Amino acid sequence: ILLAAEGLLDQKAAEAQGEFELMTWLTRAMLLKSFSPLFWLTFSLTYARGNRAEFIRGWKWILVVALLLPAAISMGVAGQALESSLEGDWVTVRFLTAGKIWLVLVVVLTLGVLVNLEKTFRASVGMTRWRIKYLFLGMALILGVKIYSLSQLLLFSKYDPALASVASLGVILGCGLIAIGHFRSGFGAIDLYPSRALLQGSLTVVFAGGYFLIVGVLAQVVATLGGIASFPAQALVVLVGLVGLTILLLSDRFRTSLQRFVSRHFRRAEHDFRKIWTEFTRRTSSVFDEVKLGKHAAEVISENFHVLGVTVFQVVSEPPALIWLSTPEMQRDHSQLAFNADWLSGIERLERPFNLEEKQDAWANLLRESCPTKFEHGGDRLVIPLVAAERLVGLVILADRVNGVPYSHEEIDLLACMGDQLAAALLSCSLTEKVLQAKELEAFQTLSTFFVHDLKNAANSLNLTLQNLPVHFDDPEFRADAVKAVGRTVERINQMILNLSRLRHELQLRRGPCRLDLLCSEVLDNLGPEMKTGCIIQRDLQVVPELHLDREAMHSVVTNLVVNAQEAMTDDGNIRVSTRLENGRLALTVADEGSGMSAEFIKNHLFRPFHSTKTKGLGIGMFQCKKIVEAHQGSIGVDSAPGQGTRFTISIPTVPEFSPASIP
């Protein structure tokens, strides 16, 4: 509608009889054309773009300029934009300074439209590019003729009624190209994601610069030699030539024929295999997402082998299925196609790329239905099995090659190598995901061990109190200690519940001033009522410096070592707990006269979770102790032998070697 209105006003101006009528129609045409860049820019930023909102936000200020500035110039300074005069029987209209500024602004905004359309087109590959090619060529022709007309007005600074006919012809031809594109394939929903880079690698800027350079040179030559009347025709020839060259360069058939001609007559390889392989490895080696990997591989194959339909599948085994990673029109990404396990085994045995049309198995029929051809003369479909580590990890299906050209032996060899590379990359992605899941599970298990073991210690404390309760129930002092012990245990359980609620956050040491000798004394006092009869605790708690420790975590370590020492003794015996300062480090020792441990158990199992010498032990206490001590930049050592008891020594630096660490 906007193009038709512009054409109508231009034609009215061209047919105007008097000076006043001509100026009236030209002013109206300028006002209408002032709003044209806004609509074209909005269209170019939104058509076929999946990330259209991002581009609208990035161009919002330019859209505001496109709305306000041209209209403001055409309305606010209309009297200063155009100037009319009589030259014989003809009315000559010249563009003044404001008019020239308006022309430059509209040209720049129109170039911005072409740049955006080019970015969208270059983001398409294969079937998608084939569908939208003529639509984009038609719009490029319409806008190109518009730029041509504006450049003529700017160059000669006067109105030429013949340009109205040129503009109308450009609109007709452009709409014809758009109609061809519509009748070829229709305009369905398409989502592309072009780069936000504006000018980098833009052919629009190159062509526009070349056109303006050539026109400028022609203008100087014409001004010097004469022949001004033929100059617009010469400039139009240049513009049409550029459009024709663009059509040829975008033609897959032309490029394929040109490559085959050069290969045949100049005896060079049809493909630059080194370039293709370098590009393929560059675009797939650093990608760790299966969908992106499939799309990048499909783009490289489509661009270099002139294949309009490239489909990439990933194989999953449970349940057996194929997952679409990339399709020609990008409408089935990550959906599944149910497949038979025996079918996958049959394809895996083929190994090399094969012609799908020659296979009559049930799986071949399913693949043909899932990847249909769009053209009668697109050639046979080629299947590349992706095999890595002796198992099928995916498939690549090539359909609708330009002109249906058969694949040469060299091309099949290169595609097989690319398939091996893609298979290894897909397997790497799958293994990386499994490793991440295993690490997440390991981290969860590590955190769980702390809470499970603390809960077990609380249960042991209550159990020992209950065992001693019938024996010493009549002792008021014991009952008071028992009540305190139960209260402390309940408090510890509540604290564990609080810690459990913090699992989503990183578990960190909560350091504060703490003297380890006083902490050990407190632990031993709390455990007193819970100790077995006949188990004697000997204290050698020398005064040690105050350090910044996590009091709660170290309390758990000391409690765990003392309780383990008691459980290791089947008969009466002594448990010795000592603290001292040794070589600038704080040392804590817990020694018992229990059953001891073998060197093999100490080396391979003691500090690993879920290994214990006790029948009912969970095997996570020493694992927890080691993690806490190491988080304090300390170390834990053990000296033990079967039947000779065990001695644990914890060593912590008095000056931290680095900032407080997190418990891994």
HEC string for 589-625: EEEECCCCCCHHHHHHCCCCCCCCCCCCCCCCHHHHH
Contact assessment for residue 306 and residue 401, using Cβ atoms and an 8 Å cutoff: yes
Residues of the chain predicted below pLDDT 50: 192-193, 195-201, 205, 213, 223, 225, 227-228, 230-231, 235, 267, 502-507, 615-618, 657-664
135-147 per-position pLDDT tens digit? 788 888 888 888 8
- 164, amino acid identity: A
Residue pointed to by tokens 């804590």: 588
Question: Please, which residues have CB within 8 angstroms of residue 611's CB and are 6 or more apart in sequence?
Answer: 601, 605, 619
**CATH classification code of 273-436:** 3.30.450.40
Cα dihedral 485, 529, 475, 480 in deg (nearest 10)? -20
Contact assessment for residue 431 and residue 399, using Cβ atoms and an 8 Å cutoff: no
pLDDT at 75: 62
The CB-side HSE value for 462 (13 A sphere, CA atoms) comes to: 13
Is residue 649 within a helix (H) or strand (E), and if so which, with residue range?
strand 646-653
- 374 vs 127: CA distance, rounded Å: 9
- The alpha carbon of 400 is separated from its chain's Cα centroid by a whole number of angstroms, namely 30
pLDDT at 518: 94
- 281 vs 296: CA distance, rounded Å: 10
Q: 386 pairs with which residues across the strands?
A: 394
pLDDT at 214: 55
484-541 per-position pLDDT tens digit? 888 878 877 776 665 555 444 444 678 899 999 999 999 888 887 777 777 888 999 9
- 272 vs 304: CA distance, rounded Å: 9
Residue 347, Cβ neighbours under 10 Å: how many? 22
Contact assessment for residue 330 and residue 128, using Cβ atoms and an 8 Å cutoff: yes
- Encoding tokens for residue 397? 């299906």
pLDDT at 74: 60
DSSP letters for 46-99: HTTBTTHHHHHHHTHHHHHHHHHHHHHHHHHTHHHHEEEEEETTEEEEEE-HHH
Cβ burial, residue 90 (10 Å; 0-12/13-18/19+): exposed
Q: Where in the chain is the domain with CATH 3.30.450.40?
A: 273-436
- 577 vs 566: CA distance, rounded Å: 12
Question: Of 560, 641, 564, which is closest to residue 602 (Cα–Cα)?
Answer: 641
Contact assessment for residue 36 and residue 2, using Cβ atoms and an 8 Å cutoff: yes
Residue 588, Cβ neighbours under 10 Å: how many? 26
- 212, amino acid identity: F
538-597 per-position pLDDT tens digit? 999 999 999 989 998 899 899 889 988 888 887 778 899 999 998 889 999 999 988 888
Largest separation between any pair of C-alpha atoms in the chain:
133
Residue pointed to by tokens 């045409």: 29
DSSP letters for 202-245: -HHHHHHHHHHHHHHHHHHHHHHH--GGGHHHHHHHHHHHHHHH
CATH of 508-664, one of 3.30.565.10, 3.40.50.10680, 3.40.50.1100, 3.40.50.150: 3.30.565.10
Q: 86 pairs with which residues across the strands?
A: 91
3-class SS string, 537-549: EEEEECCCCCEEE
- 284, amino acid identity: T
Question: Please, which residues have CB within 8 angstroms of residue 111's CB and are 6 or more apart in sequence?
Answer: 147, 204, 205, 208
Q: What does residue 312 show for φ and ψ, rounded to 5 degrees?
A: -120, 125
- Encoding tokens for residue 70? 């041209």
- The alpha carbon of 255 is separated from its chain's Cα centroid by a whole number of angstroms, namely 33
Q: Where in the chain is the domain with CATH 3.30.565.10?
A: 508-664
- 405 vs 308: CA distance, rounded Å: 12
The alpha-helical segments, DSSP class H, found in 123-202 are: 126-156, 162-185
- 534 vs 329: CA distance, rounded Å: 81
- Encoding tokens for residue 203? 């052919």
pLDDT at 636: 92
- 156 vs 235: CA distance, rounded Å: 13
The two beta strands, 573-582 and 535-541, are parallel
pLDDT at 128: 72
Residue 258, Cβ neighbours under 10 Å: how many? 13
pLDDT at 570: 76
The two beta strands, 90-95 and 382-388, are unpaired
CA angle in degrees (0–180, nearest 5) for 621-625-627: 120
